Structure 1
Amino acid sequence: MSTNVVLVVAIVVLVACGTTLVLERSLTRILVGFVMLGNGVNLVFLVASGPAGRAPIIGTGDEPMTDPLPQAMVLTAIVITLGVTAFGLALAYRAWQLTGHDDVQDDVEDDLVIRRADLDRPSASFDDVTAGMPDEEGEDEQSASGDNTGTDAADRIAAERGEA
């Protein structure tokens, strides 16, 4: 059995373009990328199923039958892709109604995590093994050194954002 090279190239192009579009910030591009990715995966199922044969109905001929499982999986994948596409269209339309564009914005918490990483400070909820544990003299190591970097950084960042 020889594989159709045109279908393999189409699979590679669809999956590559779909993956690139899914990584964009616009919801419509993400949606188009998801549809392209789904079509590429459907072609993978059809190429992997082997050569065409007769209809998978027992007792209708001597020719070898086609495997019905890949066809059923592709049909299921088409239905799932249609449902996710409808949901994505609803999200994109609602985002366009509310904001006038469909770009996905950074989350406020993501921005806070990035700022903490730039400052190289732990978050306020970070519980270090030695933090809060009394040392041999019975003193808390963190309170003895006067180092409250986690909460100071969180307070400073919250003050910068105007939440203090």
Structure 2
Amino acid sequence: MIELLATRYAYVTFILLISIGLYMVIASPNLVKKVIGVNLFQTGIFLFFVAAAYVEGGTTPVVPDDPAGPALAVVSPLPHVIVLTAIVVGIALTAVGLALIIRIYTEYGTLREDVLREVRTND
């Protein structure tokens, strides 16, 4: 079991990032901490995609000079492209979320979810 954990440390890190991010989203009443938790969750997913796409001894998917040469393991660039796109989308969503949090703070003076619910029910 320890040998498996030592060789698959990217997957252990993936599970830790997802667990910590999910815990932050569920347990924290602070909106900024929730956004940080979502970002940790996203980072765990990105790590999973990149770790799953890793091919031991893989080469770039370029047409070789000699097509009759030895067959080599080829790394697919698709997961990396998807992760890059998801990073850009995640940054944009984080910026929008933080802008909304700033607006909520200027309107209500708090970032705690329970206080916001109480204020909204009184309005």
Task: Give the TM-score, by structure 1 length.
Answer: 0.58
5 Å matches for 1:79-98? 79-98=88-107
Q: 1:60 to 1:28 in 2, by over 3 A?
A: farther
* Equivalent in the alignment of 1:12: 15
Question: Which of 76, 80, 84 is the aligned partner of 1:71?
Answer: 80
Identity of counterpart residues, as a percentage? 27
User: In structure 1, what residue type is equivalent to 2:49?
Assistant: F
Task: Tell me, yes or no, if the aligned pair for 1:27 and 1:88 is still in contact at 8 Å.
Answer: no
Moved over 4 A (4+): none
Contact 2:10 2:47 in 1 (8 A): yes
Change (3 A) 1:16 1:60: farther
Change (3 A) 1:64 1:25: same
Q: Distance in 1 between matches of 2:14 and 2:93?
A: 21
Letter in 1 for 2:15: V
2:26 is aligned with 1:26: no
Q: CA deviation at 1:20?
A: 0.9
- Greater relative contact order (CA < 8 Å, ≥ 6 in sequence): 2
- 1:59 — aligned with what? 64
DSSP-derived class of the 2:62 partner: coil
CA distance, structure 2, for counterparts of residue 96 and residue 60 of structure 1:
61
Select the structure of larger CA radius of gyration. 1
1:12 to partner: Cα distance:
1.0
Is contact 2:55–2:74 with CA below 8 Å preserved after alignment?
Answer: no
Equivalent in the alignment of 1:141: none
Match of 2:47 in 1: 43
Q: After superposition, give the CA deviation of every residue in 1:42-90 in whole Å (9 maximum; x if it has no partner).
A: 1111121132522222236864321111111111211111111011110
1:3-58 Cα deviation digits (max 9, x unpaired): 84211111111000100111222110111001100000011111211325222222
Q: Secondary structure at the match of 2:40?
A: helix
Matched length? 108
